Amino acid sequence: MQWLGHYNYWIYIALMMIGFYAVIAKPNLVKKVIGLGLFQTAAFLLYISIGMVEGGTAPIAWEHAILYVNPLPHVLILTAIVVAVSTLAVALALVIAINRAYGTVESDQIDAQDIKPGR
């Protein structure tokens, strides 16, 4: 993707901003969780693209390889992917618990139920 120059970083930032917009603008809790997933995966893409070396091959020892891609970002992002799915699971468990307690997953309706007098 080097023919794009700096523009490829801008596309990854656009993807991140799409997810970020979903987290802060959508009142539905499941949409927020989906937006968080989009944001996280786009951030991983940014990191992996930083570790790319032109002409490098996958970081597994191979006798015909001249140059290897940097393996460090891969290690960090491997950890981050698994942490992201753990976060998604706990977030979905909280959504289920909120749905059980309030009967809805729209955050404005949840706020309205909380402000009822006498609670």
The contact pattern for another protein, residues 27-66, with x = CB under 8 A and - = no contact, is xx-xx-xxx-xx--xx-xx--xxxxxxx-xxxxxxx----
- The answer to whether residue 104 forms part of the interface with another protein (CB under 8 A) is yes
Alpha carbons 44 and 109: distance in angstroms, whole number: 34
Please report how close the Cβ of residue 102 comes to another protein at its closest, in angstroms: 11
Beta-carbon contacts of residue 46 (< 8 Å; ≥ 6 apart):
9, 12, 13, 16
- The answer to whether residue 101 forms part of the interface with another protein (CB under 8 A) is no
The contact pattern for another protein, residues 64-93, with x = CB under 8 A and - = no contact, is ---xxxxxxxxx-xxx-xxx-xxxxxx-xx
Tell me the three state secondary structure of residue 52: coil
